[in-house]
Amino acid sequence: MVKGIAASPGYAVGDVFLLEEAEIVIQEEKIKPEMADAEWEKVKQAFAHTKMDLEKTKEDVAKRVGEDESAIFASHIMILEDPTLSDEIEKEIKEDNKNAVWATNHVFMGHAAIFAALDDDYMRERAADLKDIGNRVLKHLLGIHSSGLDDVTKPVILVANDLTPSQTARLDKQLIKGILTEIGGPTSHSAILARNLQIPAVVGCANLMQQLTQDSTIALDGFTGEVILNPSSDLAEEYQKKQKEYLERMEFLRESASRLAETKDGKRIEVAANIGKPENVKAVLDNGGEGIGLFRSEFLFLERSTMPSEEEQYAAYSQVAKEMDGRPVIIRTLDIGGDKQVDYLPIGHELNPFLGFRAIRLCLAEKDLFKIQLRAILRASSHGKLRIMFPMIATEAELLQALAVLDEAKAELRSQNIPFDEAIEVGIMIEIPSAALISDILAKHVDFFSIGSNDLIQYTFAADRMNEKVGYLYDPGHTAILRLIRLVVENAHREGKWVGVCGEMAGDPVFAKELIGVGVDELSMTATLIPQMKYEIAQLSYEELAKEAAEKLKR
């Protein structure tokens, strides 16, 4: 048995799919002229195979996701068939005597570089397409059969060293029955996405891949972090049974989840959901979410090669506002950086990305980008009840700057006669200890706080939330954290402002008790955790929880 860190609830058992990312090595060689025809033949073959791959992927995506989403692969096929590319490669091989791999790489990457330099979003996206297609051709030329996510064709347990948030976002729930990674912690964004997708997951299983082959089978317990290699058929059956029972229990709880959450002595706690994309709204409503306490808007910025335009963002935020039908939705402005990286934003390489140019820090330096997002949120606010929230605020000065940009965005819309909710509420995340410590000052400028415990814990204990080796320090139940949270709640309530918690601890019934005990007003979590949480809250007495929390804080 291997013990990892439980990251997404549920049980899974099945065949392993090892996700291996092979490295493409390009070597320049001078070939003999008489070899040129054979070398060119290899390229033609690789093009033919790539075309077959793309056609298969196109069909799969059309079936699984939709015709619109599959269109990208049709355009990839068109690019692949553009004779300019193949003519140039042929010339480099036959006239300049370059080897097939080098010539192919040179031509594809050369064209990609030209597109990338153009001042046009559409053209820049084509650069990423060219690189992608070029890499597919190169893999065929080099005989690299690395197993990419597109190769998964039957239900499997996905095993990877790590998954990026963009890879996780692409996962198909019908095929990926469980996720196991060698690194990462329970609050890494890949783990959060796995919970959103309701795929059982265990992370931080060091050296697991070495112990497996593509023929292995595996069982995982997303509650305890236990992983069993090649389970017996009895054990496999037991895991299947447990998963069935778990899903039935979830169904039972979901049925009673439409009620508002209240302790048995009448204290109302708002139970809301965290989402990353408009598609997640359905799960929020199905599970009885009273609102959206955190819309991680940065997920709209991942998995693409250019920034989403104001119109695209407006469409996404409006869709969420409309579908939530008057229930409150907190849109957090862009929190990119840390473990969420995109190539097209000027972040660059950093030694400590979690302590670096992230979230509001980037937005305040790139005001145009920030204002586009604020305009999009404001415009969408005329379609429902939206709230704005700034992430990673460390100082009062940052908050005032962010509010000034918001004022500019509002003034622009007014002068253009574009409607928005003039009374839109604005809040901040409290996820840096400095912000918690000056929360009395910050509370005067905002309507609410939402405590990002994932980061607050990481920064309080100086323990990377992605690093399983320091996982023992990552302790939401530590008195240090509860003291900070109580301080924030007291400071906010004194100013008549409310406080939520949207980090992962809010969805854990054990910690939720302590949060309620120190006076937190709202808990926001993965949608599927809501039914259980509402059930638990109804069994609790606020008076007792307050006493228990006070007791714990005395020490």
The residue ranges that bind ligand PEP (CB under 6 A) are 294, 296, 335, 431, 452-455, 502-503
The interface region with Mg ion, picked from 166-174, 423-431, 463-471, 506-514 by CB under 5 A, is 423-431
Tell me whether residue 54 or residue 294 sits nearer to ligand PEP (CB atom): 294
Which long-range contacts link 308-314 to residues 24+ away (Cβ below 8 Å)? Answer: 309/121, 309/372, 310/372, 310/373, 310/375, 310/376, 310/379, 311/376, 313/372, 313/373, 313/376, 313/377, 314/375, 314/376, 314/379, 314/380
179: which strand partners?
158, 201
CB of 511 to ligand PEP, least distance (A): 12
The interface region with Mg ion, picked from 36-44, 121-129, 310-318, 425-433 by CB under 5 A, is 425-433
CB of 337 to ligand PEP, least distance (A): 10
Determine whether 87 is exposed, middle or buried from the number of CB atoms within 10 Å of its CB (0-12, 13-18, 19+): exposed
CB of 426 to Mg ion, least distance (A): 18
Tell me whether residue 250 or residue 272 sits nearer to ligand PEP (CB atom): 272
Cβ atoms of 523 and 475 within 8 Å: the answer is no
Residue 421 near which of Mg ion, ligand PEP, none (CB within 5-8 Å, type-dependent): none
Residue 296 near which of Mg ion, ligand PEP, none (CB within 5-8 Å, type-dependent): ligand PEP
Tell me whether residue 468 or residue 504 sits nearer to Mg ion (CB atom): 504
Return d(Cα 239, Cα 221) in angstroms, integer: 8
Residue 100 near which of Mg ion, ligand PEP, none (CB within 5-8 Å, type-dependent): none
Residue 190 near which of ligand PEP, Mg ion, none (CB within 5-8 Å, type-dependent): none
Return d(Cα 507, Cα 472) in angstroms, integer: 20
Tell me whether residue 212 or residue 275 sits nearer to ligand PEP (CB atom): 275
With CA atoms as reference, report the closest residue to 140 among 110, 100, 96. Answer: 100
With CA atoms as reference, report the closest residue to 144 among 61, 46, 213, 57. Answer: 46
Binding track over 371-410 against Mg ion, x by CB under 5 A: ----------------------------------------
Tell me whether residue 425 or residue 431 sits nearer to Mg ion (CB atom): 431
Residue 181 near which of ligand PEP, Mg ion, none (CB within 5-8 Å, type-dependent): none
Find the helix or strand (DSSP H, E) in which 25 lies. Answer: none
3 state SS of 207 = coil
Q: Which of residues 476-535 bind Mg ion (CB under 5 A)?
A: none
Show the tokens assigned to 192. Answer: 């959060």
Tell me whether residue 111 or residue 189 sits nearer to ligand PEP (CB atom): 189
Task: Quote the distance between the C-alpha of residue 92 and its chain's center.
Answer: 42
Other C-beta atoms closer than 10 Å to the C-beta of 421 total 18
431 binds Mg ion (CB under 5 A): yes
- What Å distances lie between residue 98 and 23, 27, 90, CA to CA? 21, 10, 9
- What Å distances lie between residue 97 and 24, 32, 104, 143, 521, CA to CA? 21, 7, 13, 21, 71
CB of 505 to ligand PEP, least distance (A): 8
Residue 447 near which of ligand PEP, Mg ion, none (CB within 5-8 Å, type-dependent): none
The interface region with Mg ion, picked from 290-298, 314-322, 372-380, 444-452 by CB under 5 A, is 444-452
CB of 333 to ligand PEP, least distance (A): 12
Residue with tokens 């023992």: 472
Tell me whether residue 216 or residue 395 sits nearer to Mg ion (CB atom): 395
CB of 293 to Mg ion, least distance (A): 13
Among 289, 452, 507, 531, binds Mg ion (CB under 5 A): 452
Cβ atoms of 334 and 363 within 8 Å: the answer is yes
End-to-end alpha carbon distance in the chain = 38
Cβ atoms of 288 and 258 within 8 Å: the answer is yes
Q: Which residues are catalytic?
A: 189, 502
The interface region with Mg ion, picked from 430-438, 460-468, 492-500, 508-516 by CB under 5 A, is 430-438
53 binds Mg ion (CB under 5 A): no
CB of 8 to ligand PEP, least distance (A): 15
Residue 503 near which of ligand PEP, Mg ion, none (CB within 5-8 Å, type-dependent): ligand PEP
Strands 270-275 and 201-203, bridge-based pairing: unpaired
Determine whether 305 is exposed, middle or buried from the number of CB atoms within 10 Å of its CB (0-12, 13-18, 19+): middle
Tell me whether residue 148 or residue 471 sits nearer to Mg ion (CB atom): 471
**SS3 letters for 92-117?**
HHHCCCECHHHHHHHHHHHHHHHHHC
Residue 464 near which of ligand PEP, Mg ion, none (CB within 5-8 Å, type-dependent): none
Among 290, 298, 421, 455, binds Mg ion (CB under 5 A): 455
CB of 422 to ligand PEP, least distance (A): 28
Helical residues (DSSP H) of 416-508, grouped into ranges = 433-437, 439-443, 453-461, 479-494
For Mg ion, the binding residues (CB under 5 A) are 431, 452, 455
